[in-house]
Structure 1
Amino acid sequence: MTTPGAQKDIAQRSEKELQDEMSDVRRLIDELDEELVALLARRQRQIERAAKVKPALGIPANVPERVDEVLAHVLGVARREGLSVELTMNLWRAVIDWSIQYEERLMGDRAPTRDSQSSSGGGPAS
């Protein structure tokens, strides 16, 4: 949303200035997208580490308490940073759902079930 003052500023600028600014915006978005992909790749590597450790601890891929913890954490960060809570929830739900499925695939038949976690006293989740 733009303010009336910002709209006046935009209206008074030449098309060339506006096109230059739009090019700059697009360049910066592309750079940010690269950073986001690199961060998500780092996160994926941690999911891969968890998939190696969890079976030995009797922890299943899906630990609802941990999911709640992750969501609460990222929502707090989103609020602090001024990021849309709706966007954050949608993105992280997708990331978490994919991560759980990926962990389950990586663990294969070594994947503990939720029942085996409670019977073995499973520890903290990733």
Structure 2
Amino acid sequence: MINAGEEVVSDVELTSLRQTIDELDEQLVILLARRFQVTEQVGRLKARQRWQAVDPEREARQRHRYLTLAGQHGLDQSLTLRIFRSIIDEVVRNHRAFIGE
């Protein structure tokens, strides 16, 4: 049985943990926005240079890097790949729009 004091502590702890999650989510969004700003610059450069929107060799290197980072930080590698695949797909769509593919 949980007494009232323990329940209050649990509620405070839960609120604190959720606040931390909210702060981390905000940081993720800020970093993602920043990443897309940089990839927009890459897309414009590719368009000016008439380079392809997709660089399979870079994607393969990045995939390996993501797997390594996920392993180092105890993050599910499959989840990591799905997240980055989604991000990369959006980047490629944007690059293709710049290039006119």
For the criterion TM > 0.5, the same-fold answer is yes
Aligned-residue offset at 1:25: 1.0
Larger gyration radius, structure 1 or structure 2: 1
Alignment length (residue pairs)? 99
Match of residue 19 from structure 1? 11
Match of residue 36 from structure 1? 28
Under a length normalisation based on structure 2, what TM-score does the superposition of the two structures give?
0.87
For the aligned residue pairs, the C-alpha RMSD in angstroms reads 1.8
Give the alignment partner of residue 75 of structure 1, picking from 43, 67, 77.
67
- Please state whether the residue corresponding to 2:51 is helix, strand or coil: coil
Match of residue 115 from structure 1? none
Match of residue 92 from structure 2? 100
Q: Distance in 2 between matches of 1:88 and 1:72?
A: 11
Residue deviations 1:59-101 (CA, integer Å, cap 9, x gap): 2111111111111112111111111112101101111111101
Under a length normalisation based on structure 1, what TM-score does the superposition of the two structures give?
0.71
Runs of at least 5 residues in structure 1 that lack an aligned partner in the other structure: 1-10, 112-126
Match of residue 58 from structure 1? 50
